[in-house]
Amino acid sequence: QKEVEQDPGPLSVPEGAIVSLNCTYSNSAFQYFMWYRQYSRKGPELLMYTYSSGNKEDGRFTAQVDKSSKYISLFIRDSQPSDSATYLCASNTGNQFYFGTGTSLTVIP
């Protein structure tokens, strides 16, 4: 079993839709949970991070962690074509990071 599991998609939504991206993890020792966005042919960029269970909101983006079910989510409201990218979830224990496979998202104008 992989440390972090993520549905690779692809996911295609119309502009303005709410997008839900999800991951599950297996290691209860994971402390921080991150979402990275990667545009084509670019390195990943840190989008959001959360610690412990709960929600964290940043503009149109909301990261959610449920430690009891080992489930992490990223919600994108009012999705834009510029949101089209691959989104990777990640978690860590100490400085050991584990990445999901990434979900490819396309927002259609």
Partner 1 sequence: GAVVSQHPSRVICKSGTSVKIECRSLDFQATTMFWYRQFPKKSLMLMATSNEGSKATYEQGVEKDKFLINHASLTLSTLTVTSAHPEDSSFYICSAESSRGRRYEQYFGPGTRLTVT
Residues contributing to the site for partner 1 (CB under 8 A): 6, 8, 31-32, 36, 41-46, 49, 51, 88, 92, 94-95, 97, 99-102, 104
Tokens of 52: 């412990």
CB of 12 to partner 1, least distance (A): 15
Beta strands 103-108 and 11-14, pairing class: parallel
User: Residue 95, SS3?
Assistant: coil
Q: What single DSSP character describes residue 18?
A: -
Enumerate residues 6+ apart whose C-beta is below 8 A from 97. Answer: 90, 91
Nearer CB in complex with partner 1: 18/54: 54
Residue 22 CA from chain centroid, whole number = 6
As measured in angstroms, the least distance from the Cβ of 19 to partner 1 is 19
Nearer to partner 1, 28 or 95 (CB): 95
In angstroms, give the least distance from the CB of 101 to partner 1. 4
Closest approach, Cβ 67 to partner 1, in A, equals: 17
Q: Which residue, 5 or 71, is less far from partner 1 as judged by CB?
A: 5
Length of the chain: 109
What is the distance between the alpha carbons of residues 62 and 34, in angstroms, rounded to a whole number? 12
Q: Which is nearer to partner 1, 12 or 15 (CB)?
A: 12
